[in-house]
Structure 1
Amino acid sequence: MSHRPTINASVSPKGTLETLSQREVAQLSEAGSGNLYQLFRQCVLAILNTGARIDNAKTILDAYRDFEVRIHQQDRGVRLELLNAPADAFVDGEMIAGTREMLFSALRDIVYTASELENQRVDLNSSAGITDYVFHLLRNARTLRAGVEPKIVVCWGGHSISTEEYKYTKKVGHELGLRNLDVCTGCGPGVMKGPMKGATIGHAKQRHHGGRYLGLTEPGIIAAEAPNPIVNELVILPDIEKRLEAFVRVGHGIIIFPGGVGTAEEFLYLLGILMHPDNQELPFPLLLTGPKSAAPYFEQLHAFVGATLGEAAQRRYRILIDDPAEVAREMAKGLKEVKQFRRERNDAFHFNWLLKIDERFQRPFDPTHENMAALQLTKDIPPHKLAANLRRAFSGIVAGNVKENGVRLIEEHGPYEIHGDHQVMKPLDDLLQAFVKQHRMKLPGGAAYKPCYRVVGSGA
């Protein structure tokens, strides 16, 4: 990574988290718990790198080894002292307002997460307890707004997409904005930025004030995919599983654009949940869309789902190609069904309590070489359980591609091995090879992709 200018600065919050206890400050100081400081430092550095075309956490951390963040508790409140910070986050010596908001959102979420985990009320040993934990994290971030009608559309897709695909996401976002719908994404570049950018124009045309551009991330992702500057509500969940649950609990419908393994992970996560017997009647609009050039991508993804999870899984979504207006109309129609369903069952609009999420989708998956090799990827288990294990396989590949710990594991021990029967491994191998050929694993212009995995069992 080329050298970039740095700056020393002092920053205070505005409108949120004006105070911390002495204990919380000590926890976050370098001389305190250590691990919590490193986590906060990594998130702050990622936020300050908003706009950088880098998708490797290790590269960012190595490039700013001298960066430090110090937390001071004053009579007037909290102050952050930043040393050797990326200068692009400042204008004439003043931090950009949106960057400052996200900076203190990170502080808020990391402090609250640590405090909640020490609270005896938190029960992470049960499915209900995990859901309650996610609820409290979102409520503390003021994301949950009671009484607001369902209109949050989650958009999933790749951070590394073509210019044509990116422009298409903006068109879809524009159509959503014209219908006064809000957008929630993973908050980074590519598909996570395009729909938000388009929605801002749609909202402006409709004179719709207070549009929400909600970004949900987690520490391992944020370092590789810094928040885009359009995000006006940032929430950092403690791990990928809590992040995924937050998406489906707070979102009312989901649109999936072209992407790579991360998008496949999210898609399989949602399919596995929707295929659970308890969710058969629950409306959850799910649309897959892209420009004409993306049609082969969706055809292959559709074939993969059919080969591994069956036709029942294919019926849970609809594919719409090159028609942004129709995508928005279908989503608006689906949200009306969601509204009616929740009213009839007296479920909250702001948090989907009725959605059943199996513990397999909630437990954090540690993508070690041993755990990746031990995944049960066979057709003799129920489809929703197979979807959970396939989701974990894709999660491991994401970690090996861009997350700091995953990248280091691959450097030390070589590629992951993924085992399973031929009926699952062959479609999986075909899909992953297609992602590589279509350059969906890394940002364009980077070095040639070197797989962090090896599929075992895809042969005859």
Structure 2
Amino acid sequence: MPDTLSSTVSPLRSLEVLSQHEVNRLRDTSKSGLHDLLRRCALAVLSSGNMTDDSLALMETYHDFDIEVLQQDRGIRLRLSNAPAEAFVDGKMIRGIREHLSSVLRDIVYVYNEIQTHQRFDLSTGEGTTNAVFHILRKAAVLQPGRDPSMVVCWGGHSISREEYDYTKNVGYQLGLRDLDICTGCGPGAMKGPMKGANVAHAKQRRSEGRYLGISEPGIIAAEAPNPLVNELVVMPDIEKRLEAFVRVGHGMVVFPGGVGTAEEILYLLGILLHPDNADMAMPVVFTGPASAADYFRRIDEFLGYTLGDAVRDKYRIIVDDPVEVARALRKGVDEVTDFRLTHQDAFHFNWRLTIARGFQAPFEPTHQAMAGLALHREQPVHELAANLRRAFSGIVAGNVKEQGLRAIEAHGPFRLHAEPELMHRLDELLGSFVTQGRMKLPGKEYVPCYQLV
């Protein structure tokens, strides 16, 4: 059994006061209550540094962990029972973890009370969804209109090799030297490395207000628990709003080697940029990794060229084994974004101008029926095919690491995906290369596919 301890703490920097109704919802253990959601997200934060990408295994390991919200006259307290001991030093919770725990509480309460149950947000429409994303980010103080564009979103795998991890740090370092901030999915691997490198560079440049923004969502936070560098954490309600948050706040994008989750992010981003309304959108996108990752990006490039057409290659650059060139390309691209936003009188802190089709916004629940029904063929607009491929990869991510997906696979067997023959062949090759390169699971674990290609 892992070491655990119990403690009572106060939230930091958010939600010092809750209504009795909000407290009752957080205590409610029924399906309609918020207690299970709070418990899962809190455990993920408290387990930061735990080398697992299996949310189900994490919950089973700490099956007796619990969190209770205590309403007191001078504010609220959080009572933790059987929490992971590594979250504490001499019985006192590490401040960064305490901040992350407070962010989780803030976002769960705000999303339920102000977004999901509020009539002013029509989440069935694109405008309503984007408005909800904006308000969640504003509540978390992510939107800072007084700052010039500087946010570089870094995507990539959480179970990458040491060589690839060191490369992400080098890229982050070069970005930091050029006064650029970092936003990632907040977990380990390619999500931690750029922040670590930029942190050193910001110290050298005496940049005291460096931003290390982590954006997560409840279904994946246990597999990608916030790393210690994250100084701003936001938990969006689902993967689609998480992805929209990335592209709305980012001024440039860097993609490192990864697996299915990274492929999902690539398809989401490029599907949006291929929409006719976004033809003139300024958004620098660079795929990069060490020399050993050249084959990874070659396969990604081939798959994108076949499925989305040669025009997709105009939306990104591939730079191999050259962190300085990556940083220079991003610095130049972010400066162009600044000029573009000034010319069009757009906000620096939130990209309102970007058109995101409904296919990229509507939450996709990866059930066996939904996965089998995906339209995976080229007889449709490329941005719609990108949306369906993104859903397919999202389902595989769920089957790999998310509790709900793991339970569905355990109960009903692998997802079945149907596609036209040549596309299926290309998809099979790409997914097979991820397995061969060990990009589906943490090293040392044999990967058992959660999907079948029919």
- Give the Cα separation in 1 of the matches to 2:327 and 2:154: 12
Equivalent residue, structure 1, for 2:85: 87
Alignment equivalent of 1:111, drawn from 82, 105, 109: 109
- Give the Cα separation in 2 of the matches to 1:358 and 1:312: 19
Equivalent residue, structure 2, for 1:361: 360
TM-score, with structure 1 as normaliser: 0.97
- Give the Cα separation in 2 of the matches to 1:269 and 1:120: 28
Equivalent residue, structure 1, for 2:4: 6
For residue 30 of structure 1, report the CA deviation from its aligned partner: 3.7
For residue 444 of structure 1, report the CA deviation from its aligned partner: 0.6
Structure 1 31/362 Cα, relative in aligned 2: closer, same or farther at 3 Å?
A: closer
Which amino acid in the other structure matches residue 171 of structure 1?
N
Equivalent residue, structure 2, for 1:57: 55
Equivalent residue, structure 2, for 1:274: 273
Q: Answer yes or no: is the 8 Å Cα contact 2:5–2:84 preserved in 1.
A: yes
**CA deviation string 1:31-81 (max 9, x = no partner):** 577641000000000000000000000000011111110101111211000
User: After TM superposition, where is structure 1 displaced by more than 6 Å over at least 4 residues in a row?
Assistant: none
Q: Which secondary structure does the structure 1 equivalent of 2:363 belong to?
A: coil
- Give the Cα separation in 2 of the matches to 1:10 and 1:80: 5
1:40 matches 2:38:
yes
Equivalent residue, structure 2, for 1:310: 309
Equivalent residue, structure 2, for 1:98: 96
Which amino acid in the other structure matches residue 392 of structure 1?
R
- Give the Cα separation in 2 of the matches to 1:325 and 1:35: 49
- Give the Cα separation in 1 of the matches to 2:376 and 2:312: 17
- Give the Cα separation in 1 of the matches to 2:123 and 2:158: 31
Q: Answer yes or no: is the 8 Å Cα contact 1:27–1:33 preserved in 2.
A: no
Equivalent residue, structure 2, for 1:131: 130
TM-score, with structure 2 as normaliser: 0.99
Which amino acid in the other structure matches residue 222 of structure 1?
I
Structure 1 32/62 Cα, relative in aligned 2: closer, same or farther at 3 Å?
A: closer
- Give the Cα separation in 1 of the matches to 2:355 and 2:30: 39
- 1:181-192 superposed matches below 5 A: 181-192=180-191
Q: Answer yes or no: is the 8 Å Cα contact 2:25–2:33 preserved in 1.
A: no
- Give the Cα separation in 2 of the matches to 1:304 and 1:69: 45
Q: Answer yes or no: is the 8 Å Cα contact 1:197–1:230 preserved in 2.
A: yes
- Give the Cα separation in 1 of the matches to 2:283 and 2:417: 31
Equivalent residue, structure 1, for 2:248: 249
Which amino acid in the other structure matches residue 70 of structure 2?
H
Equivalent residue, structure 2, for 1:437: 436
- Give the Cα separation in 2 of the matches to 1:424 and 1:343: 41
Structure 1 34/374 Cα, relative in aligned 2: closer, same or farther at 3 Å?
A: closer
For residue 90 of structure 1, report the CA deviation from its aligned partner: 0.2
Equivalent residue, structure 2, for 1:66: 64
- Give the Cα separation in 2 of the matches to 1:30 and 1:45: 17
Unaligned runs of 5+ residues in structure 1 are none
Equivalent residue, structure 2, for 1:261: 260
- Give the Cα separation in 2 of the matches to 1:9 and 1:32: 25
Equivalent residue, structure 2, for 1:26: 24
- 1:182-331 superposed matches below 5 A: 182-331=181-330
Unaligned runs of 5+ residues in structure 2 are none
Which amino acid in the other structure matches residue 93 of structure 1?
G
For residue 14 of structure 1, report the CA deviation from its aligned partner: 2.6
**CA deviation string 1:223-268 (max 9, x = no partner):** 1211101100000000000000000001111000000000000000
Identity %: 60
Q: Answer yes or no: is the 8 Å Cα contact 1:26–1:32 preserved in 2.
A: no
Which amino acid in the other structure matches residue 88 of structure 1?
E
Equivalent residue, structure 1, for 2:453: 455
Which amino acid in the other structure matches residue 248 of structure 2?
R
Q: For the aligned residues, what is the CA RMSD?
A: 0.9
Q: Answer yes or no: is the 8 Å Cα contact 2:288–2:326 preserved in 1.
A: yes
Q: Which secondary structure does the structure 1 equivalent of 2:143 belong to?
A: coil
For residue 211 of structure 1, report the CA deviation from its aligned partner: 0.5
Work out the number of aligned pairs and report it. Answer: 453
Which amino acid in the other structure matches residue 132 of structure 2?
Y
Q: Answer yes or no: is the 8 Å Cα contact 2:183–2:212 preserved in 1.
A: yes
- Give the Cα separation in 2 of the matches to 1:344 and 1:51: 44
Q: Which secondary structure does the structure 1 equivalent of 2:242 belong to?
A: helix
Which amino acid in the other structure matches residue 377 of structure 2?
T
Deviates further, 29-38 or 283-292: 29-38
Q: Which secondary structure does the structure 1 equivalent of 2:362 belong to?
A: coil
